[in-house]
Amino acid sequence: MSRINVAIDGPAGAGKSTIARAVAKKLGILYLDTGAMYRALALKALRKGLVPGSREDVIPILADTEVTVRNNAGTQITYLDGEDVSQLIRTQEVSKGASDIAVIPEVRIKLAELQRNVARENDVVMDGRDICTYVMPHTKNKFYVTASVEERARRRLSELNEKGEYLEYTLEKMRGEIASRDHTDSTREFAPLTKAPDAIVIDTTCMSIETAIETLVNNIRL
């Protein structure tokens, strides 16, 4: 039986996770937040006092690390070695660690296989940095969701301020962090962030989330 596999790539803060969740809900299929899996690994490294971007630090802990996800009424619960870390992985420190740890090829290989297993067994909407190009390159539904650095920084800062977190952050500092993460994600040697040649681009800079969701849904081939 042919599966509906929708792959969405794009840089941090472009709105791809929000869009992906909404699209999955509209289609009545599973949503997989792959970034949460990298965040979970980064959290483990940070807890152990390791450097997330160091192969020497991270590779030894991979074999004994279990990252799993479960869908609970449309919400993804992320488990690290059996512990629900869904809220713990949403800090700025873990976000930076996830970008750093994702540079390590062995990490991407381990998590990509878990992600492919989900896609083989389920109709799924999956978002990340290399879903179209590495995890699910054969799917006919590929999308690249993006936005300007300025707009992505503004959104991220607003989101953190609403939560009462990182109130000392300025737009300039957030813009710098977003640009730095873009550089890390797009220049890593293994499975970098890049637009697949056959991916449909959705630029959300001046687009409402509702319009972006509708645009993507209208372009899905069942």
Euclidean distance between CA atoms 29 and 19, whole angstroms = 14
CATH superfamily of 5-218: P-loop containing nucleotide triphosphate hydrolases (3.40.50.300)
Euclidean distance between CA atoms 175 and 152, whole angstroms = 8
3-state secondary structure of 119: helix
- The segments of the chain whose pLDDT lies below 50 read none
What pLDDT is stored for residue 130 in this prediction? 94
Task: Please give the C-alpha separations between residue 97 and each of 22, 137, 212, in angstroms, as whole numbers.
Answer: 27, 26, 29
Task: Please give the C-alpha separations between residue 29 and each of 22, 71, 74, in angstroms, as whole numbers.
Answer: 10, 11, 9
Q: Is 2 exposed, middle or buried (0-12, 13-18, 19+ CB in 10 A)?
A: exposed
Confirm whether pTM is higher than 0.85.
Answer: yes
What pLDDT is stored for residue 63 in this prediction? 94
